[in-house]
Structure 1
């Protein structure tokens, strides 16, 4: 199920043209609806964001095979009418609870050619901060300077280094995770 969240758009006047949505953000996953609502609320505190963001949330269906997931994804992309500029995969709260559906969703997004970022954060505040950083970086990368000015976030904290898994390092053996861990220990 896809939900497009409402925004607080001002009514256009004859002297002031309507602002257009310039960034389409899509949330995918188990907690997508909740995080999308949190981001919509956060956008109200950022001047110009609600007028320029189009946020959709796509709940993870209960699909037991890749073909069913791909059919669902195609339907969701057609319903939204456009490919998102930024797709954020919202994993379930803990990696132990990650289900096969999330893996199927990742495979379906890859097969559909939709690039995505996995959104990490143990708390709601961390996820909001990481989403805000992703929005600002996406705006910087794809929008002309005249349209991305409102997406500059003045209070961006240093991004939290995401953990690939929620178990201990001795059980992981992920080379990318080890590289990130050890390079994070080097002096800046």
Structure 2
């Protein structure tokens, strides 16, 4: 089982990946967490990669996912699709799109973190809150154009984890039976729940604009 977490900057991908890893391990599953290589690269070089360095980021992220043991649950934070999206935005470069989508198709579950969390500065990897919506739109467009299923995860803290588990159950129902519990899952009680339904999201963000 391979699970991918995608999303714009400061939308809680890393926190959710760690929370999912811990939860699945506590459920008795063997879990392999694959961190974001871009973050590691930026920390090492103390800068963001140039256009001609993007391919190395893509290839390394793919290699790390493919090197995971076959009998484990792989949680990837994130995938080359995010590098492809940022290459489009920053360099008008679409050369990584095809490879990123081929790799993305290997994942059984794709979760897209919603834009409901407040933007937080995080050094070299933060371009600003104004970039989040364009990134989110490009991720959705690429996934939709390739007919790759995904669901959007909203909520904060434990709710975000519960909503992610719900979304996983929607995309991989047979596998998710291993995680079934006696109690009903806690669902977000706001204006929108956990699906990627456009109307549902419209109600959420309309509500956020009300003073």
**Alpha-carbon distance between aligned partners in 1 of 2:101 and 2:15, rounded to the nearest angstrom:** 20
Give the superposed CA RMSD.
Answer: 3.3
Q: Which residue of the other structure, out of 114, 135, 139, is the alignment partner of 1:91? A: 114
Whether 1:119 and 2:153 are equivalent positions in the alignment is: yes
Tell which has more relative contact order, 1 or 2 (C-alpha 8 A, sep 6+).
2
Q: Point out the structure with the larger helix share.
A: 2
What is the aligned residue count? 141
Who is 1:64 aligned against? 89
Tell which structure's C-alpha radius of gyration is larger: 1
Given that 1:136 and 1:152 are in contact with CA atoms closer than 8 Å, whether structure 2 keeps it comes out as: no
Q: CA deviation at 1:126?
A: 1.0
Q: CA deviation at 1:119?
A: 0.8
**Alpha-carbon distance between aligned partners in 2 of 1:148 and 1:170, rounded to the nearest angstrom:** 35
**TM-score scaled by structure 2?**
0.53
Who is 2:2 aligned against? 24
Any residues of structure 2 matched to 1:72-151 within 5 Å, and which?
A: 72-78=96-102, 83-92=106-115, 93-94=117-118, 98-121=132-155, 123-140=156-173, 143=174, 149-151=177-179
**TM-score scaled by structure 1?**
0.59
For the residue of structure 2 that corresponds to 1:166, the secondary structure is helix
